[in-house]
Structure 1
Amino acid sequence: MTVFIDVLLVVAILGTGVVSGVFYAFSGFVIQGLHRLPAADAARAMREINVTAVRAPLMLAIFGTALVALALVVLAIAGQLAAPWWAIAGAVVYLVGVVGVTGGANVPRNNRLAAASASDDAALAAAWGEFRPGWQAWNHVRSLTSAVACVCLVVALVS
């Protein structure tokens, strides 16, 4: 069982690290680059990014990691982990800060941006103006919480 748990921890560490990197890239330069475009063009580009984001690579990273995190919580509660509280902390931080924030904050903003008329530059510009600040702030949260979760899981592995 120890090898299995170690593998789960390593998979969770890699998953949280990858997810943190993706969100960091968006906060660090993707959204910043889009914001340099005219607002309607930025909105159009982000809408296309959102369409391509909902595919296996990103969804597997986010939600596959969430499933592994849930499995670690179950194993920790069952007394199978050497450092259960670190694993539980990492899993909870990830589940709330990434999955919860994605569903509760970022996806609704994506949906509102997608609902703006594609042929109306003024509507797209207004939608971008409403979208960007909140989306980016919550994306910072996702980047930070997935990094914190990664550190917690590393501690759980080496303890």
Structure 2
Amino acid sequence: MSPLVFYLAHFVVLAYAMVGGVFLAFSDFIMRALSVTSGHGGVETMQTINREVFRWVFMMLFLGLAPASLLIAAYGAIVVEHGSGLLMMLAGLAYFSGCFGVTVFFNVPMNETLAEMETYADVTRDYWTRTYLPRWSFWNTVRTVACGLSAALLLISLTWAAQSQAQTI
């Protein structure tokens, strides 16, 4: 494995874990805390969070990991030998589909719908409690697991590759 890819992959492991940590916070306590508000407070807070997320480091990591994951997956499938290449490929695909894909196809559309709604309308509160909270939280948990799985698979892959390389020396 080239030193550049080796160090890039270590950075990607950390980035997977950091993005997964943000999602874990939402799955573990943020959404639950927002659910026990009057409904309007949770809606308003989530609308604000969804606007602010575009301005921070999180978005750079989240979006940057999509192409990095495809590169990691391709490198693992094409270049890295033995089972460590398979694990590397699976790590990249788990992030790309289970985190990035789920976000694009499930969480973002719900965020866009919520953003267009009047914060204090009864229909908004109904959407918030009956649709948004349960579905968004479910898909967020999928993203959390995908990030954790990606980090674990890539870390195991790197360890396996390093051990395999050390045995051949």
Deviations 1:12-35 (CA, angstroms, capped at 9, x unpaired): 101110111000000111111111
Task: Report how many residues are paired.
Answer: 158
Deviations 1:93-132 (CA, angstroms, capped at 9, x unpaired): 11110001000110011111112123x4313312211211
1:26 aligns with 2:26: yes
Take 1:88 and 1:77, find their aligned partners in 2: how far apart are those partners? 6
Counterpart contact for 2:73–2:91, Cα < 8 Å = no
Take 2:93 and 2:139, find their aligned partners in 1: how far apart are those partners? 17
Counterpart contact for 2:76–2:87, Cα < 8 Å = no
> Runs of 4+ in structure 1 displaced over 6 angstroms?
none
Counterpart contact for 1:19–1:62, Cα < 8 Å = yes
Q: CA deviation at 1:75?
A: 2.0
The equivalent residue for 2:153 is: 152
Take 2:36 and 2:78, find their aligned partners in 1: how far apart are those partners? 51
Q: CA deviation at 1:80?
A: 4.5
* TM score, norm. by length of structure 2: 0.87
Whose relative contact order is higher, 1 or 2, with alpha carbons under 8 Å and at least 6 apart? 1
Take 1:90 and 1:81, find their aligned partners in 2: how far apart are those partners? 15
Q: CA deviation at 1:40?
A: 1.4
The equivalent residue for 2:52 is: 52
Counterpart contact for 2:20–2:145, Cα < 8 Å = yes
Q: CA deviation at 1:81?
A: 6.0
Let me know the Cα RMSD of the aligned residues.
1.5
Take 1:86 and 1:116, find their aligned partners in 2: how far apart are those partners? 43
Take 2:126 and 2:150, find their aligned partners in 1: how far apart are those partners? 35
Take 1:64 and 1:51, find their aligned partners in 2: how far apart are those partners? 19
Q: Percent identity over the alignment? A: 25
Counterpart contact for 1:20–1:142, Cα < 8 Å = yes
Take 1:64 and 1:56, find their aligned partners in 2: how far apart are those partners? 13
Q: What residue ranges of structure 1 are gaps of 5+ in the alignment?
A: none
* TM score, norm. by length of structure 1: 0.92
**Greater CA drift, 63-72 or 91-100:** 63-72
Take 2:93 and 2:78, find their aligned partners in 1: how far apart are those partners? 16
**Greater CA drift, 78-87 or 1-10:** 78-87
Counterpart contact for 2:98–2:146, Cα < 8 Å = yes
Take 1:60 and 1:85, find their aligned partners in 2: how far apart are those partners? 27
The equivalent residue for 1:64 is: 64
